[in-house]
Structure 1
Amino acid sequence: MEIKILGSGCANCKKLEANAREAIAEMGIDASITKVEDIKEVMKYGVMRTPGFVIDEKVKSYGKVLSAAEIKKLIQAQD
């Protein structure tokens, strides 16, 4: 599973990344987390408000910081 955090590296982006790391650690799954900070790359996903949250190239959320619990629900919905 590949998770991407889309954003400029702001505080909200960092918090979303931390929550994503917490969620995958709690679930014990094998997932990579990549930060996409290039605004042109972010825009390719159609995300106009950051942070964006992407699982396996599908945008799942943008414009808010998901909690670890919310991220776990999104990951479980992927299975």
Structure 2
Amino acid sequence: MKIEVLGPGCPKCHETERLVREAVAEAGVSAEVLKVTDFQEMARLGVFATPAVVIDGVVKCSGKVPARKDILGWVGK
């Protein structure tokens, strides 16, 4: 599973990355978590509001910090 956390590095983006990493560890799934800060890459993925979470190429959340329970649902727990 490839999880991309998109954002320029604002506090909400850091919070989203932390929550994603914690949820992946809690769910016990194998996932590569990447931080994407390049605006061209974000636009290529169709994301124009950050923070955002993209899992295996599918945008799951954009423009807000996702809830922990939502992330757990996305990663399969």
Please tell me the TM-score bracket, short chain as reference.
Answer: over 0.9
Unmatched segments (≥5 aa) in structure 1: none
- CA–CA distance in 1 between the matches of 2:59 and 2:53? 6
Instruction: Return the alpha-carbon distance in structure 2 between the equivalents of residues 61 and 12 of structure 1.
Output: 13
Aligned amino acid, residue 69 of structure 2: A
Q: Could you list the structure 1 runs, at least 4 aligned residues long, displaced by more than 4 angstroms after superposition.
A: none
Cross-structure match for 2:52: 52
Aligned partner letter, 1:60: K
In 2, the alpha carbon distance for the partners of 1:55 and 1:38 equals: 17
- What letter matches 1:53 in structure 2? V
CA RMSD of aligned residues (A): 1.2
The count of aligned residue pairs is: 77
C-alpha separation between the residues in 1 aligned to 2:4 and 2:62? 12
Q: What residue in structure 2 maps to residue 7 of structure 1?
A: 7
Alignment match, 1:42 = 42
**Equivalent residues of 2:6, 2:52 under 8 A apart:** yes
Secondary structure of the 2:72 match is helix
Measured after TM superposition, the shift of residue 9 of structure 1 is 1.0
| Equivalent residue number for residue 19 of structure 1 | 19
SS of alignment partner, residue 19 of structure 2: helix
Q: How far did 1:75 drift?
A: 1.8
- Give the fraction of aligned pairs with identical amino acids, expressed as a percent: 42
